[in-house]
A and B are shown apart, each in its own frame.
Chain A
Amino acid sequence: MRQKYFTGRLLMIAIAVFLYLPIVIMIVFSFNSSKSRTVWTGFTLEWYSALFRNELIMSSLYTTILVSLLAAAIATVLGTAAAIGFSRMRRGTRQFFLTVNNIPAVNPDIITGVSLMLLFVFIRSVTNIELGFFTLLLAHITFNVPYVILSVMPKLRGLNKHLFEAALDLGATPIRAFWKVILPEIMPGVVSGALMAFTLSIDDFVISYFTAGSSVQTLPMTIFAMTRKRVSPEINAISTLLFTTVLLLLIVINVAQHRDQKKQKQKQ
């Protein structure tokens, strides 16, 4: 039995090393004083200050955050409304719409990307709308909504239908009943859908690459362009900053959840 545990742990450690080795190397070399990616020449913070002076990186970071916030917000409203409507439909109709809804989630990213590009190029040929921030936003909303719906749907299924009717019987308008009764019940699904949409948007490269045109760039697009030129320790500096941000966020969320659970236990 001991022996079994040992080999099991060894496998887990090996996987951890495999997963983290590149990340550790990248973090260490973000402090390297020369441009070499493989030879250590001394400690510097130069790449971090260069990063903030780099207008391309800063403007693409701004684009990424703006498009992710807007897309997540719009997709959350659109998706939550759609999920509520779908849940009221007959089974066959609902199944049909959910299947169509799943297409962007199931398709490889590259296909979603090129198919939207075809649409936007077509739109450009009949109107004056160029590929740019607007088309990028439309594309992000399109691939975000399916995930909002997938996370709101189960909450709606678990909802007691009579609650809404009870609220109406007690004199609430349908809109008030929605805000006071339905929304609080499905809120966890809405929030996790919104968070998922935001992270998907922040992280997306492939779909943005095909739909943003040449006038705007998201941060992943800038990173891709930089990796093609093969010189830029600033990439290591951004990755380190992003990685630490995510790490801190996850720690904060986990600690908060832990505290919540403790509080709830105490209440009980």
Chain B
Amino acid sequence: MRRRVSFPYVGWMAVFVVVPMVLVLGFSFTSADGGFTFENFSEMTKYAPVFARSIWLAFLSTVICLIIGYPAALVMSREKPIVASAALMLLMLPMWMNFLLRTYAWMSILENNGFLNQLLGALKLPPVAIINTDGAVLLGMVYNYLPFMILPIHTVLHKMDKHLLEAASDLGADSVKAFARVILPLTLPGVLSGVTMVFVPSVSTFVISKLLGGGKTMMLGDLIEMQFTGNAYNPYLGSAISLVMMVMVLASMTIMNRFGDGEESAVMM
């Protein structure tokens, strides 16, 4: 009988979740004059370099976050509880500051007369031109999404039974073997969850590329944003690109879930 209390939200989902998805699907196959077409998808091939750059940068940022984040989570789990929880606080605090502001702050570090080049000048080193390059965009991604990699890995490490490691060493495993055979498999769900949480926002961002890439390095997010808000208003093409992005994200998540072997709960965090 109490099932009824969920009906208002079921109706809400139908209107505000399902209908918008159907609209995206419908618009993808619609031409400007309202007829059915595949043209939006063939037009998209023009933007293959944008797809390639977005996926490549998102991939790099995920790999860098993993390389920095995994050891960091490992170190945190070995600290005393008070140090570990302080580190956790420090990690989450910047996330409470709007990401636009944090990204904006990097502009003053990276720009041509910025702090980085002032520092290099003081050290009598040649200046670097990093603002408005892919490198700056990549840095912005790693900066914004690194905590998303560390947190889920930290969570699984924190829940892990520490006696397992003692058992491994009692059974004659050295620390390398214990890591490879015990820690790594057990933290895999956390890693996969971190990978999705870094890759998805990286591949779809348009803010970071606008602020740090100076609009020169166009990414998938910029491309979609342009179709919906710019002078080149073309929601049909925009929907088609969105659809492709959605399929991409879903596909990568399905693959991740396969690897995680049904550890859905950890993937959802």
Where the two chains meet, the residues of A that have a C-beta atom closer than 8 Å to any C-beta of B are 8-9, 11-12, 15-16, 18-23, 25-26, 29, 37-38, 78-79, 81-86, 88-89, 97, 100-101, 103-104, 106-112, 114-119, 121-122, 138-139, 141-142, 145, 150, 174, 199, 203, 205-206, 209-210, 219-220, 223-224, 227-228, 230, 235, 238-239, 242-243, 246-247, 250, 254
Contacts and interface: CB of A to CB of B under 8 A. Distances in A.
A15 B72 CA distance: 8
Contact of A19 (B9, B94, B99, B200): B94
Contact of B21 (A21, A103, A145, A242): A103
A84 B101 contact: no
Contacts of A83: 6
Interface stretch (B39-47, B103-111, B157-165): B103-111
Q: Which of B72, B100, B224 has the most chain A CB atoms inside 10 A of its CB? A: B100
Nearest to A8: B75
Contacts of B229: 209-210
B6 A203 contact: no
Interface string B233-261: 00100110010011001000100000000
B98 A203 contact: yes
A152 B218 CA distance: 40
* Among all A-B residue pairs, the 7 with the closest Cβ atoms: A85-B6, A22-B105, A108-B204, A115-B20, A82-B9, A8-B75, A37-B108
Contacts of B72: 11-12, 15
How large, as a class, is the contact surface on chain B? Answer: 35 or more
Q: Which of A104, A108, A139, A220 has the most chain B CB atoms inside 10 A of its CB? A: A108
Interface stretch (B10-18, B122-130, B166-174, B182-190): B10-18
Contacts of B147: 19
Contacts of A12: 72, 75-76, 87
Contact of B100 (A119, A220, A246): A220
Contact of B19 (A22, A25, A119, A250): A119
Given A23-B102, A111-B245, A142-B17, A250 B93 contact: yes
B94 A23 contact: yes
Given A38-B115, A81-B9, A114-B224, A242 B98 contact: yes
Interface of B: 1-10, 12-13, 15-21, 23-24, 27, 68, 71-72, 74-76, 78-79, 87, 89-91, 93-94, 96-102, 104-109, 111, 113-115, 118, 143, 146-147, 200-201, 203-204, 206-207, 210-211, 221, 224-225, 228-229, 235, 238-239, 242, 245-246, 249, 253, 268
B109 A15 contact: no
B23 A82 contact: no
Given A81-B9, A97-B10, A103-B17, A115 B242 contact: yes
A115 to B, nearest CB: 3
Contacts of B225: 110
Contacts of A112: 20
Contact of B6 (A18, A97, A121): A97
A150 B269 CA distance: 10
B93 A84 contact: no
B246 A111 contact: yes
B228 A25 contact: no
B5 A81 contact: yes
A145 B5 CA distance: 15
